[in-house]
Amino acid sequence: MTLKKLTLTALLASTLMASGALAGGNVVILDQFGWGNGTGVGQTGWHNRTRVYQDGWSNTSISTQDGAFNRTSIGQSGHHNYADTEQNGSGNIAGVAQMGGHNDAETVQNGHNNAVGVIQIGHGNSTSTTQTGNGNVAVIVQD
C-alpha cells in the first residue's frame, strides 16, 4: 500500500470517526498539494466540521474550534508534517493521521465527552494530547 493510500485510508477512518449528525454549522474542506502548504482554521459554534488533507512537503495545519459537537479531521502525507488542534466545549472529536516525515501532533480538548484519535506512521512521530473535563477518550497509534 502506498503512502498516499495509507494517508487517505487513515483520513477516511478519522473522518468516519468524526462523522455524526450535522445539524447546521460550518463546513471547511481544504486539500493542499505541493510544497509550502500551511493552514489555519478557526470556528465558533455548534456542529462545525473541518477536514484538511495535505499532500506535499512542509505541511502544517492548525485548527481551533469553540463550541459543541464540532469535528476536525487532518490528514498529512509528506514531509515536515505538524498538526495542532484545540477544541473547547463538549462532544467534540479530533482526528489526525500523519504518514512519513517528521510528524508531530498536539491536541488539546477542554470540556466533557470529547474524543481524539492520532495515527502516526513513519519517521519522527511525537504527540502531545491534553484533555480536561470528564468522559473524554484518547487513542494514539504510532509506528
pLDDT tens digits, residue range 108-117? Answer: 999 999 999 9
Average pLDDT over residues 105-130: 96
Q: What percent of the chain has pLDDT over 90?
A: 73
Look up cell 503512502; give the residue.
3
**93 contacts 17 by C-beta, under 8 angstroms:** yes
Domain range annotation of the chain: 3-127
**Could you give the angle at the alpha carbon of 98 between the alpha carbons of 57 and 83, nearest 5°?**
80
- Each residue's pLDDT tens digit, 48-95: 999 999 998 899 999 999 999 999 999 999 899 999 999 999 999 999
